[in-house]
Amino acid sequence: MSSNDSQIMNYLVRMVVPMRREFGRKLDVAQFLHDFSYATEVLEEARSSQDARLREYANHVEKYLHGARIVSAPAAPVAAAAPAKGGSPARAAEAPPPADKTGPSDEDEMRARVMRKYTSGLR
């Protein structure tokens, strides 16, 4: 079961009791997951609820149910490769500076700190 499936199930289970209380509707989770028209009908009804939590659950389920087909924000464009000679200086400034390979890295420093902790503390 993927992460999206577990999130959908979590919200659907949370919707069962409020749907029964407010609308007298028994939410069938298995049918919801397999019948698109039933799912649409249930989500529309839940979005018209007076219960704010039920409306929120319906929005979450709708977002996760349809997966990548529903986009909440446009995806960021992929950054272009570094410009060739004569490229714009503004674009060159966006590139991260090259890492200094001559000095010790942060990882080496952390490892040395941990080793000092264990070697100096033993008696």
Q: Residue 13: is its pLDDT beyond 70?
A: yes
What's the confidence (pLDDT) of residue 7?
Answer: 83
In contact, 92 and 46? CB cutoff 8 Å: no
What's the confidence (pLDDT) of residue 71?
Answer: 45
Write the pLDDT tens digit of every residue in 67-122: 544 444 555 555 554 455 555 555 555 555 555 555 567 888 888 887 777 676 65
| Mean pLDDT, range 18-27, rounded to an integer | 92
Got the DSSP string for 74-110?
A: PPPPPPPPPP-TT--HHHHHHSPPPP--SSPPHHHHH
What's the confidence (pLDDT) of residue 50?
Answer: 93
Q: What percent of the chain has pLDDT over 70?
A: 62
Helix (H, G, I), strand (E, B) or coil at 85: coil
What's the confidence (pLDDT) of residue 101?
Answer: 55
Torsion, Cα 79 85 90 94, to 10 degrees, reads: 40
Residue 21 C-beta-side C-alpha neighbours within 13 Å: 9
Buried b (16+ CB within 10 A) or exposed e, 22-49: eeeeebeeeebeeeeeebeebbebbeeb
Residue scoring higher pLDDT (31 or 79): 31
